[in-house]
Amino acid sequence: MEEKVIVKGKNGMQFLILWIALYAAAVLLLVAGISKGGEDSPYLLFFLPGIIWLCIGWIPFAGLKILKPQEALVLTLFGKYIGTLKSEGFYYVNPFCQAVNPAAKTRLGQSGDVDDSEGSKKYFAAVTSSKEDSTVSRKISLKAMTLSNAKQKVNDVLGNPIEISVAVIWKVKDTAKAVFNVDNYKEYLSLQADAAVRDIVKIYPYDVAPNIDTTGDGLADDGSLRGSTTVVAERIRAMIQIKVADAGLEITEARITYLAYAPEIAAAMLQRQQASAVIDARKMIVDGAVGMVEMALERLSENGVVELDEERKAAMVSNLLVVLCGNRDAQPVVNSGSLY
């Protein structure tokens, strides 16, 4: 299905004035026929046309369409697609044309659009309203819109369960494809976004892990969900775009808005991170302490302050390492006797 843009028809004001004038004329003819009517009165000839126009004269008004900027209207005539109005203005079209928008009553779960007051989980798919059948607008918004589905629990490449949420910026590019190629383009986008997130997240580890290939080139790399959020988001955007191309949608941007370990392993992962931090800190302390001991022994030897045999050097090294690497302040002991 290819989009056909209707570029003519911005004559709604002229037709509005014409139909109002004809309606007023029909009323005048009806009044004249009643007030001056008789069996042989010529006004009776206009009485019947006036009645007929008053009964059916409202039909042409159905062809008046008003569009604001960044709005579109997909029109069908007796089931056949005849074109799309995409430019703002006051139009007049065939009054028997119908505007089609299967997603008109659908609200995406974003920005408080879904009622979650009872603490239930937010919907991943779109939520539809059932009380606005007669008042809902059939216009299609061409503005950039945001899809923010609820958090998903996905396993990363190492099998660790994580929770992730992605915000997608999108807009309708081809109205004909959006209306006729899929049943509901908003629900379709929501489901495809969830599927794309799962497909991409399972390729990456949460943190950098050895021997993991995230690019598909057969070589291990340093890619991770936490460290490569921009790259991951761009791959998610590209995959969503591929999936929704047939629906006439354009994905302009995708961003990771929430990323964390699932609650059931969050505590264990935090302990692992804390242990890793402690090990790194201890390693730095030991490296510094060894350097200080080496410097102390070299200075003592160079200046000839004291001569130590290997046993005394080992005892001194042990004492210095205990002092420098200990968590508490050292308690000095004064030796007033012989060195040996």
pLDDT tens-place string over residues 227-251 = 889 999 999 999 999 999 999 999 9
Q: What is the pLDDT of residue 120?
A: 36
Q: Does residue 6 fall inside a structural domain?
A: no
| Listed residues 233, 261, 289: the one ending a domain | 261
pLDDT at 128 over 50: no
The rounded distance, in Å, linking the Cα atoms of 139 and 306 is 93
Residues 80 and 169 in one domain: no
On whether both 153 and 250 belong to a single domain, the answer is yes
Residues 24 and 117 in one domain: no
Last residue of a domain, one of 261, 276, 304: 261
- Based on the domain organization, do 135 and 257 belong to the same domain? yes
pLDDT band at 210 (very low <50, low <70, confident <90, very high): confident
In a domain, 36, yes or no: yes
Residues 6+ apart with CB under 8 A from 137: 101, 104
Per-residue confidence band for 213, with pLDDT thresholds at 50, 70 and 90: confident
State the CATH number of the domain containing residue 162: 3.30.479.30
pLDDT value at position 44?
A: 61
Residues 6+ apart with CB under 8 A from 177: 1, 3, 246, 247, 248
- What whole-number distance in Å separates Cα of residue 296 and Cα of residue 339? 18
* Domain annotation covers residue 4: no
Number of domains in the chain: 3
Domain co-membership, 137 together with 240: yes
3-state SS assignment for residue 257: strand
Does 296 reside within a domain?
yes
pLDDT digits (tens, 9 = 90+) for 16-72: 898 888 888 888 877 776 766 555 556 566 677 777 888 888 888 888 999 999 999
Same domain for 74 and 92:
yes
Task: Tell me the CB-side half-sphere exposure of residue 116, using CA atoms within 13 A.
Answer: 14
Tokens of 291: 């350097």
Distance CA 218, CA 212 (A): 9
CA 45 – CA 34 distance, rounded (Å): 11
On whether residue 16 sits in a domain, the answer given is: yes
Average pLDDT, the chain: 80
Q: How confident is the model at residue 327 (pLDDT cuts 50, 70, 90)?
A: low
Share of the chain above pLDDT 70, in %: 81
Give the C-alpha separation, 67 to 86, whole Å: 8
Range 289-304 burial, b when 16+ CB lie within 10 A, else e: beeebeeeeeeeeeee
Asked whether residue 19 is assigned to any structural domain, the reply reads yes
What is the model's pLDDT at position 82?
Answer: 93
217 and 303 within one domain = no
Answer yes or no: do 120 and 167 share one domain: yes
Lowest mean pLDDT, pick from 173-182, 236-245, 260-269: 260-269
Same domain? 131 vs 235: yes
160 inside domain: yes
Q: pLDDT-derived band of residue 301, with 50, 70 and 90 as boundaries?
A: confident
Looking at the structure, tell me whether residues 168 and 112 fall in a common domain: yes
Q: How far is CA 311 from the centre of its chain?
A: 69
Whether residue 139 sits in one domain with residue 233: yes
Other CB atoms within 10 A of residue 22 CB: 13
In the three-class reduction of DSSP (H, G, I as helix; E, B as strand; rest coil), residue 153 is classed as: strand
Of 261, 281, 313, the domain-final residue: 261
In a domain, 331, yes or no: no
Q: Do residues 116 and 244 share a domain?
A: yes
Asked if 80 and 45 touch (Cβ cutoff 8 Å), the reply is no
Question: 278: domain range?
Answer: 268-325
Nearest to 52 by CA among 31, 17, 27: 27
Among 85, 50, 46, which Cα is nearest to 69's?
Answer: 85
- Give the residue with greater pLDDT, 324 vs 121: 324
Instruction: Kindly tell me if the per-residue pLDDT of 112 is higher than 60.
Output: no
